[in-house]
Structure 1
Amino acid sequence: MSLAPLLLLILPLVLFVAQLLLRKRLGEVSSLRKRSKQDRPPSPGLTPWATEVDLSTHPLFHAPSLLAPLDAEPYFLVLDTETRDAIDEAPAEAVSQALPSPSPVIALTWQVLDEDGRLMSEEYHLLRQEGRITPEATRLHGLCEEDLRAGGEAPRLVLERFLRVTARAKVLVAHHLRFHRAMIAADLEALGLSKADLLDREDYCTMEGGKALGFKRRRSGEASYPRLSELFGQLYYERPHLALRYQEKGLRDVRLCSACLRALLRLPSYRPLSSLRPRADED
């Protein structure tokens, strides 16, 4: 008996089964890729995949590996302020120009990091300042007078604690450090507290560090100052315009700034921060 008719009957069935198995395998691979993109934290140099980052839950800000060991020593103090008035703290091209008149600080946030950028502590304080918070400022940071009455602390107590933390740190860090330091210094002076530790510490401005990377350009081709969110998006996703989800703006900015600092510390082409020390009042 010839096998040809039998093969003609079996071959379509074999091809059909093979096609089903191939489709199933492709589906599994696609599912694994999708899960991988959702689960793994971003790393500099990898192809970007995120469209939104939630600062409250993302492992980039909460992974156990980011915590400093118990015997770590304070090194970086990363800080951020929110003020009663809507002062544009965004990077301007003429950064060397005089800063705007100080406005009372109503939220002061900081993180203490060890020399490797690992987290030792994080604090967020509302300061019970007198006076009206402008609607423009509320739209910027989401804080109003009711928030300060409900959860605000005496400014002197918060600033005295901040100075004790500052005295133990070696390097102050902020995005547009010159702006934030000026706002805090004005409140210290108004309360008769010393500004020495705030003004004399070694410092590093991530806004200046971001400009040195040169990824943001003006129409003339000159490097421009990136916003904090742009620097974070570029360093971790190669995408400056990244959607961010957060609850408190002060916590958002400090966490972003610390993340940017850690990424800059890892760049092999970047000089040590102690020698680079880019500042917003220098060319």
Structure 2
Amino acid sequence: MRLAPLLLLLVPLALVLLQLLLRWGLQRRSELLRSAHTHRPLQRQDAPIAVEVDVDSSPLFDSPAPAGALPHYLVLDTETQDILHEEEIGIEFAPSPIILLSWQVLDATGACLSEETHLIRRSASITEEATALHGITTELMESEGEELRPVLERLLQAVSEAKVLVAHNVRFHRTLVLSELEAVGLPTASLEALPTLCTMERGRVLGFKRRASGEAAYPKLSELFGYLYLHQPAVHVRFRHKGLRDVRLCASCLRQLIV
């Protein structure tokens, strides 16, 4: 019975201590929530891109073929007089004149045998919207552009040696080239018969880019490269030449897709 007075003193003290602990816990939780809210902008999707690659200097784009290697893949890219977004082109579209034609010839492992890019001289001006996209001005085209037919003949030589045509939206780029071949009276059969590999279609199958509905979407070429090499689609690509930028990106993506 002697413990009763002591218990009468300890119980109120314990209750007071418990209340203080609860109050401190609630206050601490509020502080943590405010802190999380304050730092939330760091996780925004429009945050600055941290990863940057340069197609002219990065070793990711330097893959020379060994001596004696044989042609296998022909990687193709085009730039046009008007804006045509290859990721958005439907089955039917009106081809725009090609002003830049670039390609790489690769061996069966994806190593590079040769690379060419040709600025094509046209009679009409390049639209301002197209210049904003690829950086090629009408003045540059008129002063440094080549005649179309000799360039297409060089491309057909590469086509004759290749086993597979590769591009990001291969149907789009092949349709543009076929239109130009027909316009100058060159044969189209070899290009039409060449088997194809589309990096844009392969990218959609990977499923890393989704529409709001959840459906897999076609990735941009830079997004596919970022996903395959850097595990993040958001990549800034530096370049001096738009045609070589895309053909090198496409060839690099191919090397990962055929592993």
- Alignment TM class, shorter chain as reference: 0.7 to 0.9
Asked if 2 retains the 8 angstrom alpha-carbon contact of 1:229 and 1:256, the reply is yes
Q: Does structure 1 conserve the Cα–Cα contact (< 8 Å) formed by 2:51 and 2:234?
A: no
Inter-partner Cα distance in structure 1 for 2:92 and 2:98: 15
Q: Find 1:77's aligned residue among 74, 89, 93.
A: 74
Task: Note if contact 2:223-2:233 (Cα within 8 Å) is conserved in structure 1.
Answer: yes
1:265 matched residue in structure 2: 258
Summarize the alignment of residues 74-113 of structure 1 with structure 2, pairs less than 5 Å apart: 74-89=71-86, 91-92=87-88, 97-113=90-106
Aligned length: 211
User: Does residue 1:205 correspond to 2:198, yes or no?
Assistant: yes
1:256 lines up with 2:249 in the alignment: yes
Q: How does 1:1-283 map to 2 (within 5 A)?
A: 51-62=51-62, 66-89=63-86, 91-92=87-88, 97-266=90-259
Q: TM-score, normalised by structure 2?
A: 0.79
| Distance in 1 of aligned mates of 2:190 and 2:214 | 38
The question of whether the paired residues in 2 share the 8 Å contact of 1:212 and 1:223 is answered with yes
Question: What is the Cα-based RMSD across aligned positions, in Å?
Answer: 1.3
Unaligned residue ranges in structure 2 (runs of 5+): 1-48
Distance 1:183 1:204 in 2: 17
SS of match in other structure, 2:71: coil
- Deviation sequence 1:135-179 (CA, Å, 0-9, x none): 011001111121122211110000011001111000000001111
- 1:185-241 CA-partner distances (Å, limit 9, x unpaired): 111111011111111101100000001111111112111111100000000011101
Distance, in Å, in 2 between the alignment partners of 1:98 and 1:115 is 30
CA distance in 1, matches of 2:212, 2:255: 30
Code of the aligned partner of 2:69: A
Aligned-partner SS, 1:140: helix
| Paired amino acid for 1:225 | Y
Q: Which runs of 4+ in 1 moved over 4 A?
A: none
Deviation at 1:100, TM superposition (A): 2.2
For the Cα contact (< 8 Å) 2:74–2:164, is it kept in 1? yes
Higher Cα Rg, which structure: 2
